[in-house]
Structure 1
Amino acid sequence: MMRIEIPQLETERLILRGPQLSDFEAVAAFFASDRSKFVGGPMSAEQAWRTLALEAGHWALRGYGRWIVAERDTNAPVGNIGLWFPHGWPEPEIGWDLFEGFEGKGYATEAATAARSYAYDVLGWDTAISLVDPNNTASRKLAQRMGARHDGDFTHERFGTVQIWRHLSPDELVNGGMEAYA
């Protein structure tokens, strides 16, 4: 059996961990819902299974990926957030999918900020983007909360035209950026 080492990150309220078989029900529910319309859904349970497997496979192929985010207190999966760079993407991304019932708690911002810190501090990235559907107001607002700026558009073969949101660089974060005052 192939083993993939996925680092676990912890924030004040969350644990970012590798995907597990026990996460399938939450992932399938997300992808069956209208919440997934900006990321390829809604889709069947069979397609959701493939999506969960490709999330794990991204870790094997790239050495990084998106974590399942779980509440620290309950271990309930709240989303799938992290680093993403599949073939066809313009450059490495910080991406987020937040599951039904967990919006409005700041979880996506908390987890995406931890993922960005990992990208910069551990992987040595000097920039990151987030691709956002122009109609996805919640994702656009999250990118803005993190200090990202609209940096043009990108046309993807499956998702159409999406906005590129450029995150603050490590230097901007250290030298007066939003995390300098945390």
Structure 2
Amino acid sequence: MSALIQTDRLHLRLIDPDHDAADMLALLNEPGFIRNIADRGVRTLAQARDYTAERVLGSYTLNGFGMYAIIRRSDGAWLGNAGLVKRPELPGPDIGYALMSQYEGQGYAFEAARGVQHYARDRLGYPELYGIVAPHNARSAALLQKLGMEPRGRLRLPPPVDEEVLVFATPGALALG
């Protein structure tokens, strides 16, 4: 599968429901994913395949973007995902990322998110991006700020998440609400 985004150590490609279902299942059940993003209730390989087909492929079709598999160039390891999410509560795309725990703390999330940021601006024409983070997730908030995003307040996400999150945006991005 060809890369959409290349960085020094990574390439990001479209996620394939059949090829990536096992990796998605593992990622969606990482304790950090459940704690910092949400429990998607995906517990079987079949559910992971369905989730990926509906949510990820659906976003590619509907929005022209979505989450992408993060692949380490040196050995082909599947590290997690990063990409763009369209949320009705935000005026522009939301940059998101999640890594398998064994790859955290090595700069991969920042490198992938920076690649997505450049791709959104240069290839998709979205200079303004948003980022949301759980209030307790200081590492993710710091990463968004390292990307040049600024705090923009709080937002309550609708059910099933039903959680208040911190909102960040690139300078010049539209204000919320």
Is the structural similarity TM-score above 0.5?
Answer: yes
Match of 1:32 among 8, 29, 32: 29
Higher relative contact order (CA 8 A, sep 6+): 2
Partner of 1:111: 112
Q: 1:41, 1:26 → 2: CA distance? A: 16
Q: 1:47, 1:86 → 2: CA distance? A: 23
Partner of 2:6: 10
Q: 1:39, 1:50 → 2: CA distance? A: 19
Identity %: 28
SS in 1 for 2:65: coil
Q: 1:42, 1:149 → 2: CA distance? A: 28
Structure 1 residues 84-93 or 69-78, which shifts more? Answer: 84-93
CA RMSD of aligned residues (A): 2.2
| Length-normalised TM-score, structure 2 | 0.84
| Post-superposition CA distance 1:46-90 (Å, at most 9, x none) | 543333221122111111112111101111111110111044545
Query: Deviation of residue 22 (structure 1)?
Result: 2.3
Partner of 1:69: 70
Q: 1:7, 1:59 → 2: CA distance? A: 15
How many residues align? The count is 166
What runs of 5+ residues in structure 2 fail to find an aligned partner?
none
Match of 1:167 among 167, 170, 173: 170
Matches within 5 A, 1:52-67: 52-53=52-53, 54-67=55-68
| Length-normalised TM-score, structure 1 | 0.82
What runs of 5+ residues in structure 1 fail to find an aligned partner?
1-5, 171-182
Query: Deviation of residue 24 (structure 1)?
Result: 1.4
Query: Deviation of residue 102 (structure 1)?
Result: 0.6
